[in-house]
């Protein structure tokens, strides 16, 4: 199946099922490569419709404490961008349908070499990219090379985005849009539903791309609420926190994996 | 990525371009949430930078509050000791708050006021920029939050207390490696969450466009004054100018007005910590590679996976794994020579300056001075060298005592 089709097919399937999708975020290599790969393998059956994988970075400037710690755990245990790509390749052997979006910061990619990265990403079965520190002003860096390889370029739309800026943002966006429901970093406050709903309606006037909503969504109830107006709901820090909690409680690898997977199961049960 | 002009540009002073690029360096690598605000800062800066009322207010405060112009002082005894070029110090350590940092914080807070911002945030390493920011916040009655790495809070206790006396709130940063780069991360995180009312006063000539340009412009008063003062004293341009580099604000401030005077040799001095080969250093140009961090592309200390590595220097103000993008460009096109100096060499120069000139320098310009002790003897006696004495050493006496094994 060609790359961008996995995302399109997923949203088409969700539309047919008349439900919103669940996007789960975890950091690649968190808490270590082994446990991470076990978690990754089980995410689809637990109800994750789209998998967002954080590429660990030493300086995750747009992330709150939970995901910062996840980055540190992964890096401390030797995670690298190459290993992240290898983990995707391994996952694709078992799962041909669940879209994978890599999310992160530009420097490790720039350091690897943009062309090298986009070719490998496509080859291992990555479907799209969310690069936090590449706004439209820097589209020549990675957005254009990625689109050339049929990797989707998923952009963030935020509460600070006005109508004029939105049209710029939409220009090279593909796959879906990610509406960040609060002006802030990951894992902090939750947004007011009414504001988000209004913002989504405004975006829909200008774009037919599916819209995922994330930031500050922590519970099954919040997932259900958000699903009323979003095409997909993103949960990140709350999932990552389960790993931190398991570590604090000295849980085994199996228990850590189970803690994450049962939480994802609970979140997705609100969407059927 | 735009192509790097390897041929000589028409002017070395024309950067950045409209996208904030100096050659391939600079740019605006920030989260979308911040972009509208960054564009707003740019617009406001271009609106006010030559506005007569803005200039009058800035220059008035620079004169009466900061004490500008800072003297250009002929360091006679040092010159005689080294037996080469005639050495002048640009005395920015005599500024109010004891360093060049206030040239920039004053400019930025005047901009913040005009933009109607109600709250100021800043990052600091040595605490000098934190103090300079807390100072102008007191002056303009704006609340001030300073992010400072836990490690730096410990080694720069006097400045932490000064900031508190000035009414600033200090946030101890424990994320990452708890140093200046993490303080900058946390300041950016604060800004993303408080875009409506907050202005981020960045302390060096780095960050997303327009910061490298704006900070350079506010610091260029150093070089502009130097040119005039030396013209008066010696009726000529200097043969060489030297400054230390953390992020590069005092250096670009001195260098920029001289960039197109091609007979002036320009030297930037990075911190080599325990030696560039030891891996424990802060010399981004000498020991780093181009990368993207804190909103700009520039030379960075990083590992083979593109993870940012920790900088090391005895001087907290130079302890940063990056450098302003304009320096990266000047390095690549060869207009400025960048060299590095170790902790030990800086400590030697620090003591020499105390004894010969009766000036206790900050550890940052002690790095510049250490290079001057190498360079001056190789120059002729009728040649002139100007070094930026960008900070005084009161804040560093504890660090120096410890390094020298003295208990105080
Ligand atoms: C006295 C002094 N010099 C230099 C620096 C380094 O900064 P920059 O390279 O931006 O001048 C600092 C930073 O704290 C400082 O306090």
Spatial neighbors of A189 by CB under 8 A, at least 6 apart, are: A182, A216
Total domains, chain A: 1
Spatial neighbors of B233 by CB under 8 A, at least 6 apart, are: B72, B74, B88
Domain span at A67: 3-271
Residues flanking ligand 1, CB < 6 Å: B 99, 125-126, 128-129, 204, 244-251, 317-318, 362, 364, 390-391
- What are the tens digits of pLDDT across the range B25-84? 999 999 999 999 999 999 999 999 999 999 999 999 999 999 999 999 999 999 999 999
Whether A138 has its CB under 8 Å from any CB of chain B: the answer is: yes
Cross-chain Cβ contact A160/B31 below 8 Å: no
Whether B294 has its CB under 8 Å from any CB of chain A: the answer is: yes
Mean pLDDT of A147-175: 96
Alpha carbon of A17: minimum distance to chain B alpha carbons (Å): 32
Q: Which residues pair with B123 in a beta bridge?
A: B147
Token representation of residue A69: 């710690």
- For A:188-217, CB contacts with B below 8 A are 188
Chain A nearest-CA residue for B296 = A133
B19 contact residues in A (CB cutoff 8 A): 137
Pocket probe for ligand 1: among B91, B92, B96, B100, the residue whose CB has the most ligand atoms within 8 Å is B100
- What are the tens digits of pLDDT across the range A199-218? 999 999 999 999 999 999 99
> Is this complex scored with an ipTM above 0.90?
yes
Whether B123 has its CB under 8 Å from any CB of chain A: the answer is: no
Specify the pLDDT at position B6.
57
Contact, A164 vs A136, CB < 8 A? no
Per the annotation, the verdict on A127 as an active-site residue is no
- The burial class, CB within 10 Å (0-12 / 13-18 / 19+), for B364 is buried
Q: What's the gap in Å between B184 CA and the centre of ligand 1? A: 15
Chain-wide mean pLDDT for chain B?
Answer: 96
Supply the CATH number for residue A137's domain.
3.20.20.70
Contact, B48 vs B54, CB < 8 A? yes
Between CA A75 and CA A197 the distance in angstroms is 37
Whether B31 has its CB under 8 Å from any CB of chain A: the answer is: yes
- Of A142-146, A182-186, B186-190, B236-240, which gets the smallest average pLDDT? A182-186
Q: What is the DSSP letter of B196?
A: T
Alpha carbon of B241: minimum distance to chain A alpha carbons (Å): 33
Q: What is the DSSP letter of B237?
A: -
- What are the tens digits of pLDDT across the range A179-204? 999 888 998 877 777 889 999 999 99
Nearest alpha carbon to residue A269 among A48, A82, A11, A28: A48
> Which residue has tokens 């060609």?
A2
Between CA A150 and CA A205 the distance in angstroms is 26
* DSSP helix/strand/coil, A84: helix
Whether residue B75 is preceded by a cis peptide bond, meaning omega within 30 degrees of 0, is no
């Amino acid at each position: 199946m060609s790359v961008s089709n996995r995302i399109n097919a997923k949203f088409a399937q969700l539309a047919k099922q008349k439900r919103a999708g669940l996007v789960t975020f975890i950091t690649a290599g968190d808490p270590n490569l082994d446990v991470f790969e076990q978690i990754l393998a089980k995410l689809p059956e637990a109800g994750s419709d789209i998998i967002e994988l954080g590429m660990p970075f030493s300086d995750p400037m747009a992330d709150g404490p939970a995901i910062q710690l996840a980055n540190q755990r992964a890096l401390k245990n030797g995670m690298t961008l190459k290993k992240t790509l290898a983990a995707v390749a391994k996952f694709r052997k078992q799962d041909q349908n669940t879209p994978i979006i890599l999310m992160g910061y530009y420097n490790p990619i720039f350091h690897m070499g943009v062309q090298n990265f986009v070719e490998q990403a496509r080859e291992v079965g990555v479907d799209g990219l969310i690069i936090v520190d590449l706004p439209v002003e820097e589209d020549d860096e990675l957005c254009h090379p990625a689109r050339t390889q049929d990797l989707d370029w998923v952009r963030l739309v935020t509460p600070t985005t006005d109508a004029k800026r939105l049209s710029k943002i939409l220009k090279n966006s593909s796959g879906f849009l990610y509406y960040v429901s609060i002006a802030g970093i990951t894992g902090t406050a939750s947004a007011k539903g009414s504001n988000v709903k209004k913002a989504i309606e405004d975006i829909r006037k200008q774009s037919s791309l599916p819209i995922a909503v994330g930031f500050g969504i922590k519970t099954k109830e919040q997932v259900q609420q958000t699903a009323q107006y979003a095409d997909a709901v993103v949960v990140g820090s709350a999932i990552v926190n389960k790993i931190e909690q398991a570590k604090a409680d000295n849980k085994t690898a199996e228990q850590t994996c189970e803690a994450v997977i049962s939480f994802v199961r609970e979140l997705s049960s609100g969407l059927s | 990525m735009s192509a790097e002009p390897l041929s000589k540009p028409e002017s070395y002073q024309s950067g950045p371009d409209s996208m904030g690029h100096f050659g391939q360096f600079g740019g605006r690598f920030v989260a979308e949430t911040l972009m509208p605000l960054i564009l707003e800062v740019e617009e406001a800066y271009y609106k006010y930078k030559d506005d007569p009322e803005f200039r009058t207010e800035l220059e008035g405060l620079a004169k009466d509050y900061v004490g500008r112009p800072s003297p250009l002082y002929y360091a006679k005894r040092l010159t005689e000791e080294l037996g080469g070029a005639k050495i002048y110090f640009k005395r920015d350590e005599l500024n109010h708050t004891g360093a060049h940092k206030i040239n920039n914080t004053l400019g930025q807070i005047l901009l913040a006021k005009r933009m109607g911002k109600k709250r100021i945030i800043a990052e600091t390493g040595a605490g000098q920029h934190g103090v300079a920011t807390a100072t102008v916040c007191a002056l303009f009655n704006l609340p001030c939050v300073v992010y400072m790495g836990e490690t730096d809070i410990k080694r720069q206790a006097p400045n932490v207390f000064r900031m508190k006396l000035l009414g600033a709130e200090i946030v101890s940063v424990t994320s990452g490696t708890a140093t200046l780069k993490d303080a900058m991360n946390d300041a950016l995180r604060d800004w993303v969450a408080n875009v409506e009312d907050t202005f981020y006063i960045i302390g060096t000539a780095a960050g997303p466009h327009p910061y490298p340009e704006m900070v350079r412009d506010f610091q260029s008063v150093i070089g502009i004054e130097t040119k005039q003062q030396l013209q008066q004293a010696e009726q000529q341009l200097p043969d060489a100018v030297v400054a230390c580099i953390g992020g590069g604000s005092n250096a670009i401030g001195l260098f920029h007005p001289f960039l197109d005077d091609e007979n002036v040799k320009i030297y930037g001095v990075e911190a080599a910590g325990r030696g560039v080969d030891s891996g424990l250093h802060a010399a981004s140009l000498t020991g780093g590679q181009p990368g993207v961090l804190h909103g700009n592309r520039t030379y960075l200390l990083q590992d083979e996976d593109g993870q940012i590595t920790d900088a090391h220097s005895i001087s907290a103000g130079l302890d940063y794994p990056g450098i302003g993008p304009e320096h990266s460009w000047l390095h690549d096109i060869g207009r400025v020579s960048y060299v590095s100096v170790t902790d030990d060499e800086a400590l030697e120069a620090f003591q020499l300056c105390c004894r010969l000139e009766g000036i206790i320098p900050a550890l940052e310009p002690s790095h510049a001075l250490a290079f001057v002790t190498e360079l001056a003897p190789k120059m002729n006696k009728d040649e002139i060298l100007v070094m930026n004495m960008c900070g005084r050493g009161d804040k560093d006496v504890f660090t120096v005592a410890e390094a020298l094994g003295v208990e105080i």
